[in-house]
């Protein structure tokens, strides 16, 4: 296992999900983002690479928006 791998978890309301994902992507140091539901089941997981274009992320943001509409609370797991 990679000793340099750092994982952070954020528990937020569904309505704040898209804004938090955009903030994490904008920071630019995330390798992978996983969204988990209330009971810790994985809902969506996607890699974030350096220099990824906004056009590529648009469908992901649309999916995250749909999840946000359905989720009352979720956890974002960020691998850096």
- What the chain holds in terms of domains, given with CATH numbers, is 7-79 (3.30.1490)
Tell which residue, 67, 6, 5, has the closest CA to residue 36. Answer: 67
Q: Are 8 and 77 in contact (CB under 8 A)?
A: yes
pLDDT, one tens digit per residue, over 7-60 is 999 999 888 888 898 898 888 888 899 999 888 899 888 888 755 555 567 777
Structure pTM? Answer: 0.77
State the average pLDDT over residues 49-77. Answer: 75
Q: If 0-12 CB within 10 Å is exposed, 13-18 middle and 19+ buried, where does residue 12 land?
A: middle
């Amino acid at each position: 296992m990679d000793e340099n791998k750092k994982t952070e978890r954020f528990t937020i309301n569904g309505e704040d999900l898209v804004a938090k994902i955009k903030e994490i992507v904008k920071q630019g140091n995330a390798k992978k983002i996983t969204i988990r539901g209330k009971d810790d089941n994985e809902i969506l997981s996607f890699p974030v690479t350096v220099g990824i274009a906004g056009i590529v992320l648009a469908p992901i943001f649309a999916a995250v928006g749909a999840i946000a509409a359905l989720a009352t609370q979720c956890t974002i797991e960020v691998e850096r």
